[in-house]
Amino acid sequence: MTRRTRIVLKAGVWILCLLPFLILVWRAVNGDLGPNPISFLTNWLGQWTFRFLLLTLALTPIRICFGLAWPALFRRLIGLFTFFYASLHFLIWILVDHFFNWDQMLGDIVKRRYITVGMLALLLLLPLAITSTTGMIRRLGGTNWRRLHRLVYVIAVLACLHFLWLSKAVRPDAYLYTGLVILLLGVRVWNALARTHRKAMQTPAVASDTGLSR
């Protein structure tokens, strides 16, 4: 892939990733947020955070199962968009939903388990976003960086719990997303097991887990 196509592709993916946000702004401007706009904003942003998280997690399985390595080019981009949507989701919660009612929010973080795990997931996303730059990868060294970024698996589990616990009754989409997380993490476990097995017989596998090809 030439540098040029890579730039064009990245720009395209960037715009696609921004689309859910642009649609939301468009709907807000047109008064199309429904009877409970604040809840609509929160749900929309939460749903898209989860979808982007699933997409980030899908890139390695795509390589493992279909031998396609190029989607991993966009891992950083999609990962950062996950953080973008998670931050907006959180901001709506403090700015609009509770309007700086710190006492109530702190109480919620401690007492409500779905908020506790959601908050934790956001906090864990923070170091991943901060260390996403090329300079940071160099400074940390590949091994350390990779180890740190395995936090995303913990984040995925927390995100599932957050979704499963938040509604009056368990929603089908919460089950669906949780199933997908199990599948995407399962492929990795299966692959790692297969690799250890292979290692015993042949040369060590080359593929690393970061997928950040450069």
Partner 1 sequence: MVIKRASKFKASEITDRKVYLNRRAFMAGATALLLAPSAARADSTPQGESLKATRNPKYSLEEKQTKYDDATSYNNFYEFGMDKEDPKKYAKTLKTRPWTVMVDGLVQKPKRYDIDDLLRFPLEERVYALRCVEGWSMVLPWIGFPLAVLLKQVEPLGKAKFVEFTTLKDPEQFPAQKPSIFSFGGGLEWPYTEGLRLDEAMHPLTLLTVGMYGHVLPNQDGAPVRVVIPWKYGFKSAKSLVRIQLTENQPPTAWNVAAPNEYGFYSNVNPTVDHPRWSQATERRIGEFLRRKTLMFNGYADEVASLYAGMDLKKDY
The yes or no reply on residue 114 touching partner 1 (CB under 8 A) is yes
Closest separation in Å from C-beta 44 to partner 1: 13
Evaluated on CA atoms 88, 84, 149, 203, the torsion sign reads positive
**CA diameter of the chain:** 63
- The least CB distance from residue 126 to partner 1, in Å, is 22
Altogether, the residues listed in the chain come to a count of 214
Binding residues for partner 1 restricted to 171-190, rule: CB under 8 A? 171-172
| Contact flag: residue 10 with partner 1 (CB under 8 A) | no
Residue 62 tokens read as 């795509």
Q: Is 38 in the site for partner 1 (CB under 8 A)?
A: yes
Q: What's the closest the beta carbon of residue 114 comes to partner 1, in angstroms?
A: 6
Which of 168, 197, 200, 202 is close enough to bind partner 1 by CB under 8 A? 168
Residue 102 lies near partner 1 (rule: CB under 8 A): no
Angle at the Cα of 91 from the Cα atoms of 82 and 74, rounded to 5 degrees: 15
Contact 148, 131 (CB under 8 A): yes
12 vs 34, beta carbon nearer partner 1? 34
| Cβ-Cβ contacts under 8 Å for 74 (sequence gap 6 or more) | 9, 10, 13, 59
User: Which residue, 42 or 191, is less far from partner 1 as judged by CB?
Assistant: 42
- Binding residue for partner 1, selected from 2, 5, 30, 143, defined by CB under 8 A: 30
Question: Which of 3, 4, 5, 35 touches partner 1 (CB under 8 A)?
Answer: 35
Rounded Cα distance, 117 and 28, in Å: 29
What distance in Å separates the CA atoms of residue 82 and residue 53, rounded to the nearest whole number? 6
- Considering only 98, 131, 140, 185, the residue that binds partner 1 (CB under 8 A) is 98
| Three-class secondary structure of residue 52 per DSSP | helix
Size of the site for partner 1 (CB under 8 A): 33
Cβ 35 to partner 1, closest distance in Å? Answer: 4
How far apart CA 154 and CA 53 sit, in angstroms, is 12
Binding site for partner 1 (CB under 8 A): 28-39, 95-101, 104, 107-108, 111-114, 165-166, 168-172
